[in-house]
Amino acid sequence: MRSLYPLHILLLALLSSVANAQFGFFDQMFGGQQQQQQRQQPQNVPSDSSIYRGNFERMHCENYLCPDTLACVHFPHHCPCAWPANEDKFEMGDGHRICVSKGGFKSGEAARKVELARKGML
């Protein structure tokens, strides 16, 4: 009878580990995944400019650091637009550039409006 006792303990340990693995699997698939999703919810950024200022201060640029895109360029009018797929870039006469939302109706609509504004007609 003594030789069966260690066999019973081994069998009981084996069955409990299988049960634990099985239920642990379901917990991970359902309950654990839900907790993980809750932790990954994005947070709103703060309403101050500290993140931007921190990034700006860490940048190194020997020429001109574009304030809105943090791109390093030779001249201010070389700065890229932040959203080039949605904005058209126009270089102004004073060595600066502006980014204007693309016109949605036809090609060149934004350029036409910029030219009207330059002439004081808009």
- Alpha helices in the chain, H assignment, sequence order: 4-26, 33-39, 50-58, 109-118
Average pLDDT over residues 4-13: 60
Q: Please state, for a pLDDT cut of 70, what percent of the chain lies above it.
A: 66
Amino acid at 61: C
User: Between 73 and 42, whose confidence is greater?
Assistant: 73
| Predicted TM-score of the model (pTM) | 0.55
> What is the tens place of the pLDDT at every residue in 67-119?
999 999 999 999 999 999 989 899 887 888 899 888 777 788 888 888 888 88
The SS3 assignment for 90 reads strand
